């Protein structure tokens, strides 16, 4: 039973931010501190805004055009 207690206490240990800033990260922010997470989130939003929208094929309606009279076959 003491093994279980040691395992659960190890997961509760604070982790340093992934960006290496020296602050502690959180599981809720992917092990980033709040400041680095906000900066990362802002960068991702800006890159999404800059990316072009996907090109969708335009719907082409069939338009009837008068056709030239067909030549008659000579027999």
pLDDT of residue 16: 95
Average pLDDT, integer, range 42-60: 74
Distance CA 21, CA 23 (A): 6
Tokens representing 28 are 């809720």
**Average confidence score pLDDT of the chain:** 77
Average pLDDT, integer, range 35-53: 86
pLDDT of residue 17: 96
Higher pLDDT, 33 or 52: 33
Tokens representing 20 are 């290496």
pLDDT of residue 46: 87
Average pLDDT, integer, range 28-47: 93
């Amino acid at each position: 039973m003491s093994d279980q207690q040691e395992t659960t206490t190890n997961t509760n240990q604070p982790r340093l931010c992934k960006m290496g800033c020296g602050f502690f990260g959180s599981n809720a922010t992917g092990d980033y501190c709040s400041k680095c997470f906000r900066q990362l989130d802002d960068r991702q939003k800006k890159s999404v805004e800059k990316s072009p929208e996907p090109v969708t094929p335009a719907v082409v309606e069939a338009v009837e055009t008068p056709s030239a009279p067909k030549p008659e076959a000579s027999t």
